[in-house]
Amino acid sequence: MAVVCLACLYPSCGELQKHKVLKLAHGLPTDHPVHEAMVFMGQRLKELSQGQMELEIYPGAQLGGEQECVELLQIGSLAITKVSAVVMESFTDDYKVLGLPYIFRSQDHMFNVLEGDIGKELLVSTENKWLRGLCFYDAGSRSFYTIDKPVLVPEDLKGLKIRVQKSKTAMDMVQAMGGSPTPISYGELYTALQSGVVDGAENNPPSFYTSHHYEVCKEYSLDEHTSVPDVLIISQHIWKDLSDQEKEWLQQAADESVPVERKLWNESVKKSLEEVEKAGVNIHRPDKGPFLEKVKDVYESYKDQEVIYSYIKRIQAVQ
């Protein structure tokens, strides 16, 4: 009887060994479109692998902020996280091109770039830093919001301290437009706006809404100066340990989550604008021409950086 029991246990052990759980952590709330897309990805991974692989998702910065999660990926203690493409600039200069103002002519142009050869090259450009991109998620377009002075033309930024991400491209852009770029942690921004440390910031509509910055800033100008995507990245340590079949399942699940995220994102943008307007925010849609004119020289400033300048030219050539 003992032999029979052992014989029954061995298949179970084999099945357990085959079952892989990949931990995915990020700093977003559970009602965020990117989180919802990750949940869909997890469901598809389980379906594609017939239960042999699944995601265990830790939202809301349970395992730390973006920087901490990236560090955990680099040592292989965490499998997957989501970061802004701006964060990836710390690991390779190549990603800087995605943060340049008005580098994308339209949403369709951006999607064509990210889904083509350029996007694929960028996703694997950080493998030597133990990070590999799985896919890009739409993070919308970033626009200026201010406490009480609307930004309708670039000249309106003169004398204003505008919070930016810790990114050279973001700082160069605001400076070129006439503002004073002020890098501040996102978690400290609400207080900085409330106390007048900065006069405004720039971000997409869902972030403007979910951060409650609209409670302080009543002017939102949709100049849409940058469209920096999010990147879903996996630890290269974890990726290398997956079989070819497991890599295929994971990549397919990630790819299938992209159109889902885009649909959810568009719905979130619409809802966010409606809600902030109800809360008394004045929404402006300024002519983008003057803003574009102010930053056109930013591209030429990268002329001596062969790789980035090549990406600029290639992106401009994409239809």
Q: Give residue-wise pLDDT tens across range 195-217.
A: 999 999 999 999 999 889 999 99
What's residue 143's pLDDT?
98
> Which amino acid is located at 71 in the chain?
E
Domain shared by 27 and 111, yes or no:
yes
On whether both 45 and 105 belong to a single domain, the answer is yes
Do 38 and 81 lie in one domain? The reply is yes
Report the 10 Å Cβ neighbour count for 112: 17
Strand order in the sheet with 80-84: 53-58, 20-25, 80-84, 230-235, 131-137
- State both tokens at 73: 């990926």
The amino acid present at 192, given as its one-letter code, is A
Q: Are residues 116 and 41 in the same domain?
A: yes
Which candidate, 272, 262, 174, 283, places its Cα nearest to that of 225?
174
Domain extent, residue 290, equals 142-227+279-317
pLDDT for residue 230: 96
The CATH number of the domain holding residue 212 is 3.40.190.170
Query: Using one digit for the tens of pLDDT, what is the confidence trace for 283-314?
Result: 999 999 999 999 988 898 899 999 999 999 99
pLDDT at 238: 97
Give a yes or no: residue 3 inside a domain.
no
**Mean pLDDT of the residues in the chain:** 92
The DSSP bridge partners found for residue 58 are 25
> pLDDT at residue 17 above 60?
no
Q: Which of 224, 218, 77, 70 is nearest to 139 (CA)?
A: 224
The reported pLDDT for the residue numbered 42 is: 98
- pLDDT at residue number 249: 98
What's the pLDDT tens digit per position in 66-115? 889 999 999 999 999 999 998 898 899 999 999 999 999 999 999 999 99
Q: Which residue matches tokens 């493998």?
A: 127
* Cα 51 from Cα 7, distance rounded (Å): 23
Q: 241 and 129 share a domain?
A: yes
Q: Are 22 and 56 in contact (CB under 8 A)?
A: yes
Number of domains making up the chain = 2
The verdict on 70 and 99 lying in the same domain is yes
